[in-house]
A and B are shown apart, each in its own frame.
Chain A
Amino acid sequence: MNLLDTQYIVYELANEKYALKISDVYEIIKMQKITPVHNSKSFLEGVINLRGKIIPVINLPKRFGLNHYTVTKSTRIVIVKSRDEMVGIIVDKVNQVVRFSDIQPPPEMMAGIDGSYFEGIGIAGEEIVSILKIDKVLYE
């Protein structure tokens, strides 16, 4: 599959732009009350109720060891489907759906985050967006 043909969803987190393959994204919902699950994964924010299903929600900045997020009106939970499990990711803002004109391999480090978490760097016009390897981010 040609990566350039794929559509991506671009979102913002701590003023950085990230992208996820649209096929990985199941749904985007508004921020809601998250019930903490203590003594689990450190970056697990908790669980939410998505139409009767319990869905874990992770805190990406915490995952990467970055600053804490603050909830605003535009905060969203992006529900991704990975390994047959639905997982929510908190983002500051969901921007748009794009196709990249070029995708370059990721550098070793990117904004203080290990480069192996990224599929690559997508370029669409003026914008430069890091594309997340969702499986790795969630599971490793």
Chain B
Amino acid sequence: MAGLYDTPEMIDAFLEEVEEQLEVLEQSILELEQNGETPEVIQKIFRVAHTLKGSSSAMGFEEMKILTHEMENVLDEIRNHRLKATKTVINALFQCLDQLRMLKQDFVSDRNNIKTDISSTVNKLKEILSGGYNQNQYIKQDKGVQNTEQDNKTIEFELDFDQRYQLIQALKSELNILVCKVKISDDSLMKTARAYLILNYFNQMGNVITTEPNVIEPSDDIQISDVYYLLITKLDAKTIKAKILNELVDIDNVDIYPYDIKLSEQQAFAEHREEQINRNKISVNTYAQKRTIRVDVERVEKLVDLVGELVIEQTRIYKVGNELHSCYISDGMVDELLMISNHVSRVISELQEGVMKMRMLPIQQLFNRFPRIVRDLAEALGKEVELVIEGEETELDKTIIEDIADPLIHLIRNAIDHGIEPSEERISIGKPPKGKLIISAFYQENHVVLIVQDDGRGIDVQKVKECAIKKGIITEKEADTLTEQEIINLIFHTGFSTSQEVNEISGRGVGMDIVRNHIEKLNGIIEVETKHGEGTKFTIKLPLTLAILPGLLVRISDEVYALPMSNVVEIVRKPENEIGFIKGQAITLIREKVLPLIWLHDYFNIQRIKMHHKNIFIVVLGVAEKRFGLVVDELIGTQEIVVKPLGSYIGKVETFSGATILGDGSVACILDVGGIAKMVENNKILTHNM
């Protein structure tokens, strides 16, 4: 059988399945550890082991088969309440998970040379098994009885790829999938032969996928009384039952019920398997479309760039077209050009959407790694940590997900190592014994915000200060002039670490500055909020670097700027005499709310234009809870803007989030509303001090 599945496509499919299953396994074990034993979670883990066993044996991957088989045994015991899912068991399961990963790795590098030694894990599982139940043999015999006593639906058939495929096909063509439990009379002489005859009988009514026990190639010592047939048929359960009871002899009882095919699990599996098998069946030459393909990110990036160019050029064509139109109003050719231009722009916007989506992935795939990391760390440090993950569905650019992984993991490590206190310490200061670590992701305007928050010790400002002075990062004199926040930000300084000794969990003072570097590279912002004794909160704000977004073009003096539409709350026109001043700050009333007004002219050192008309244009901008009015000299219009970074030479400029290219080929800076709000705030503080 192994030969049939030896094609590269099958191996790929196998590996993909293993990867998927291992992820489920990891989640389930964590769930088991956290929420304790529930039938569902045990069943989930069991199913993974079972599936892996099936596919690994189909691939002829002995080691994985043996290991999963042992896992299955243990889980089966738990499922039947003869074993408890103790800490030892859970740890053993984790060990299995790791070994399965290693096995998979070995399989990838050289399937004929599996280096991972599974014997210790297998022994451990066996130990657990014998500890839970001394007579293995007895359990085996017991199994059949157990099954009949229990809910019938617990029957699990061992299905290989082909059989599953048939099941899925049957589901699609809306055939019945039935389990037929036939109890052969005790006084029947040749039970095996009888069972085989029944199989043939069923095959006339439909298609028997498999039987339990195996009646086609029965082992010698088999004691058949109950036989399960997995049957695909057009007939319904009642008809079959009636027919059997009428037409067959030597049967005590028949029980027929639909097979509980686990849809959610099977579906995904089935769909790509379907394609695999189709391909095998059709011909070698016609390659069916695969469901997923791996593409070099750079290729996608190139596409995004090109689409960006297209968007820009399209706005230019549109502009030229309109100009032509106003010159040659009655020319049919120009009309046609405009029509084509419109159509092209529709196609481009669809293309743009598609390309952008190609790069977006839910951050889940990164967050899924955290429970395990947190668990292992907490275990190693003897701390109790409750992990809360929020917003894992938040989608963001794939490259960002990859680049943000290290900084996030680092923050998590820090939180557990330095932040969260050991249980005794927590109890003594009146905190719940379990530390809480919250990791969340959400959108805010055109940013993705990631938060890592713990309820631990918080950062000791005094300690940071002392350490920074000791390490020569700042002098004592400087230290006195710094605000608390500035001191806390020193943790991002190169060569800074408050941990007394170097340990394997939180590095050696190269930590936080790497976090900072990573985030800067992504053009992001990180902020720390900390309260001594109450915890620390890191907020990472990442822009969607390659986004193409709707923007509002405005003119300030003779310069054109773009504003992300998502920041624009409203646009109003106000007579100049409705502007008041409070402590030198210009304000105005809009919808009964006092809004500070900002002339960017002042910050950019350009002349305010004397208005010919009395009204001024105010673009009301919002960022987080802040609102303010930006006074502009002209509203130009809205346009899709392709965000281009200003580049590392210019670096991060607070007021701009990037630049974009306009229809006439010139460049306009994109205003960063959050940055402007901050700049204005800082300036205010300055004027106060003066």
Contacts and interface: CB of A to CB of B under 8 A. Distances in A.
A77 interface: no
A39 B659 contact: no
B603 A44 contact: no
Contact of B308 (A52, A55, A87): A52
B666 A49 contact: yes
Interface string A37-54: 111110010111100111
B656 interface: yes
Contact of B647 (A36, A52, A54): A54
Interface in B115-171: none
B572 to A, nearest CB: 25
Which label, helix, strand, loop or mixed, suits the secondary structure of the A interface? Answer: strand
B649 A85 contact: yes
Interface in A51-74: 52-56
Given A52-B309, A52-B312, A87 B666 contact: no
A104 B252 CA distance: 109
A87 B651 CA distance: 13
Given A47-B667, A49-B667, A37 B653 contact: yes
B477 to A, nearest CB: 27
Contact of A39 (B312, B655, B661, B666): B655
Chain B interface size, as a band, is 20 to 34
Nearest to A35: B667
Contacts of B665: 49
Nearest to B655: A39
Nearest to A138: B649
B653 A35 contact: no
Interface string B251-289: 000000000000000000000000000000000000000
A82 B312 CA distance: 27
Contact of B653 (A33, A40, A53, A138): A40
A40 B603 contact: no
A36 B655 contact: no
B655 to A, nearest CB: 6
Contacts of B560: 35
Nearest to A41: B650
B603 A47 contact: no
Contacts of A46: 667
B654 interface: yes
Given A48-B667, A49-B661, A35 B559 contact: yes
Contacts of A47: 646, 650, 659, 667, 669
A51 B679 CA distance: 32
A37 B646 contact: yes
B308 A54 contact: no
A85 B647 contact: yes
Contacts of A56: 646-647, 649-650
Which of B560, B647, B654 has the most chain A CB atoms inside 10 A of its CB?
B647
A33 B655 contact: no
Which of A33, A36, A54 has the most chain B CB atoms inside 10 A of its CB?
A54
Contact of A33 (B644, B645, B647, B666): B666
A37 B649 contact: no
Given A49-B661, A52-B309, A44 B559 contact: no
Given A37-B669, A41-B650, A54 B645 contact: yes
A46 B668 CA distance: 10
B503 interface: no
B605 A38 contact: yes
Nearest to A34: B667
Contacts of B581: none
Contacts of A49: 661, 665-667
B559 A87 contact: no
A48 B667 CA distance: 6
Interface in A87-139: 87, 138
A52 B655 CA distance: 22
Contact of B667 (A41, A54, A85, A138): A54
A35 to B, nearest CB: 4
Contacts of B666: 33, 35, 49
A62 to B, nearest CB: 14
Contacts of A39: 603-604, 653-655, 679
A49 B604 CA distance: 21
B649 A54 contact: no
Contact of B650 (A33, A40, A52, A53): A40
B310 to A, nearest CB: 10
A52 B661 contact: yes
Interface string B286-321: 000000000000000000010011001000000000
A88 B603 CA distance: 25
A82 to B, nearest CB: 8
A54 B659 contact: yes
Contact of B668 (A35, A38, A87): A35
A33 B559 CA distance: 11
A39 B605 CA distance: 9
Nearest to A47: B667
B305 to A, nearest CB: 8
Interface string B579-618: 0000000000000000000000001111000000000000
Nearest to B664: A33
B648 interface: yes
Contacts of A138: 649
B673 to A, nearest CB: 15
B667 A38 contact: no
A19 B249 CA distance: 105
Which of B308, B645, B649, B656 has the most chain A CB atoms inside 10 A of its CB?
B649
Contacts of A38: 603-606, 655
The 5 closest A-B pairs by CB, nearest first: A38-B604, A35-B667, A85-B649, A54-B644, A54-B659
Interface of B: 305, 308-309, 312, 559-560, 603-606, 644-651, 653-656, 659, 661, 665-669, 679
27 contacts: A35-B659, A35-B666, A35-B668, A36-B604, A38-B603, A38-B604, A38-B606, A39-B604, A40-B650, A40-B653, A46-B667, A47-B669, A48-B667, A49-B666, A49-B667, A52-B305, A52-B308, A52-B312, A54-B646, A54-B647, A54-B661, A54-B667, A56-B646, A56-B649, A56-B650, A85-B647, A87-B649
Given A39-B679, A52-B312, A56-B649, 6 more contacts: A35-B669, A38-B606, A39-B603, A40-B650, A41-B650, A52-B309
